[in-house]
Structure formats: C-alpha cells, structure tokens
C-alpha cells in the first residue's frame, strides 16, 4: 500500500463527511469545441484525396501493363515490367511539369520530344534484342539505363527552365 492509499484509508471517516450540493451538476457546463468541425472535415478531405490518388495510380499501372500498345509487355521479365511502370509514371509526371513551360518555350519542348523519340527508338531496338535472348542481363540493364537517361534529360531541362524563369522573375522585380 502506498502512502496515498494509507492516508485515505486512515482518514476515510473525515473525508466522507462532505457531500456535493444538489445544484452542483447544474452549474457545471461543458464547453463547446472550437471549430473542430473544420479539422474533421479537413481530415475527411485528406482521406478522400489519398483514396483518389491510390485509385488513379492503380488504374495507371493497370492501363500501362495491359494496354494494347504494350501487349508484348507480358512476355518481358518482371524486372523490366516493374521498371516500365515506375519510369512511365515518373516520365509522365515530368512531362506534365514541362507542359507548364511549353507556352513560354515551345522550341525547347519540341527539341525535348525529339530527344525522347530517339531514346524511344533505341529502347524499341533493345526490346527486340531482348526477345531473342530473354535472360540477357546486359540488355535488361541497358533498357533500364535508357529510362534513366530519359528521366535525367527531362529533369535537366526542367531545372534549366526553372532557373531561367527565376532569373526572369528577378529581373522583373528589380525593374519595378
């Protein structure tokens, strides 16, 4: 028995003599929560947004894997299938970012499309080489490297364009 329990048991007779008044519970009021509705609504919106993102990602992966354009994808090794799905999603994201700059720099977008088209033709050639020898690790690595190069090209161009826009913005603010 700890000291508090000992004190209560020894002094119980003295402590039990007090009773709360009958109107005590009427005086007690509960405070209403302040704008908790917004917080609850915000978390619900976040859950809905997360669900939509997961659905769209799943749908995109399914579309990429089973589109008629990629019917030969089912014949490829799992490593390549996963790489194609991953890099396709990454490249689509970068293309969307690049589209933001397309109105300002249409020549850069066209040049980028040409670069990616060349890399796509190299990838198609590698894919044909892989059909001849499905377990050729060198071809598989070259295919993955091709995707990495495409992604690097887009990232570098986006970096260049964002720096260029930043400098233009700085020039505009110094003029004003």
Identify the residue with better confidence: 71 or 152. Answer: 152
Q: Is residue 47 within 8 Å of 26, Cβ to Cβ? A: no
- Mean pLDDT across the chain: 76
Q: What is the reported pLDDT for 123? A: 86
Q: 92-103 pLDDT, tens per residue?
A: 888 888 888 777
- Over residues 10-28, mean pLDDT: 75
Contacts 24+ apart (CB under 8 A), 128-131: 130/76, 130/80, 131/72, 131/75
Q: What is the reported pLDDT for 66? A: 62
- Over residues 40-58, mean pLDDT: 68
Instruction: Give the pLDDT band (50/70/90) at residue 37.
Output: very low
Helix ranges (H only) for the chain are 3-10, 12-15, 24-27, 36-66, 78-102, 106-132, 137-175
For the chain, which residues make up each domain, given as ranges? 34-66, 76-176
Identify the residue with better confidence: 106 or 32. Answer: 106
Instruction: Give the pLDDT band (50/70/90) at residue 39.
Output: very low
The values of phi and psi at residue 22, to 5°, are -70, -30
- Over residues 100-128, mean pLDDT: 83
Q: What is the reported pLDDT for 73? A: 45
Instruction: Give the pLDDT band (50/70/90) at residue 35.
Output: low
Cα–Cα distance for residue pair 11/8, rounded to 1 Å: 5
**Six token digits for residue 10:** 């020894």
Identify the residue with better confidence: 54 or 65. Answer: 54
Cα–Cα distance for residue pair 46/40, rounded to 1 Å: 10
Q: Which of 118, 98, 121 is nearest to 109 (CA)?
A: 98
Q: Is the pLDDT of residue 6 over 80?
A: yes
Cα–Cα distance for residue pair 37/24, rounded to 1 Å: 30
Percent of the chain with pLDDT over 90: 0
Cα–Cα distance for residue pair 66/76, rounded to 1 Å: 13
Helix (H) or strand (E) holding 18: none
- Over residues 24-29, mean pLDDT: 72
Q: What is the reported pLDDT for 100? A: 82
Q: What is the reported pLDDT for 41? A: 52
* Cα dihedral 145, 149, 155, 159 sign: positive
DSSP 8-class letter at 22: T
């Amino acid at each position: 028995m700890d000291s508090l329990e000992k004190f209560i048991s020894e002094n119980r007779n003295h402590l039990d003599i007090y009773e709360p008044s009958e109107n005590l519970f009427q005086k007690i009021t509960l405070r209403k929560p302040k704008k908790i509705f917004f917080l609850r609504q915000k978390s619900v919106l976040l859950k809905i947004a997360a669900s939509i993102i997961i659905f769209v990602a799943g749908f995109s992966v399914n579309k990429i894997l089973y589109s008629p354009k990629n019917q030969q994808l089912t014949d490829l090794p799992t490593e390549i299938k996963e790489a194609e799905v991953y890099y396709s999603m990454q490249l689509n994201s970068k293309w969307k970012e690049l589209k933001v700059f397309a109105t300002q720099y249409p020549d850069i977008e066209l040049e980028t499309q040409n670069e990616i088209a060349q890399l796509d033709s190299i990838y198609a050639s590698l894919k044909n080489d892989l059909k001849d020898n499905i377990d050729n690790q060198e071809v598989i690595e070259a295919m993955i490297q091709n995707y990495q190069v495409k992604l690097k090209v887009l990232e570098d161009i986006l970096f260049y364009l964002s720096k260029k826009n930043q400098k233009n913005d700085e020039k505009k603010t110094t003029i004003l």
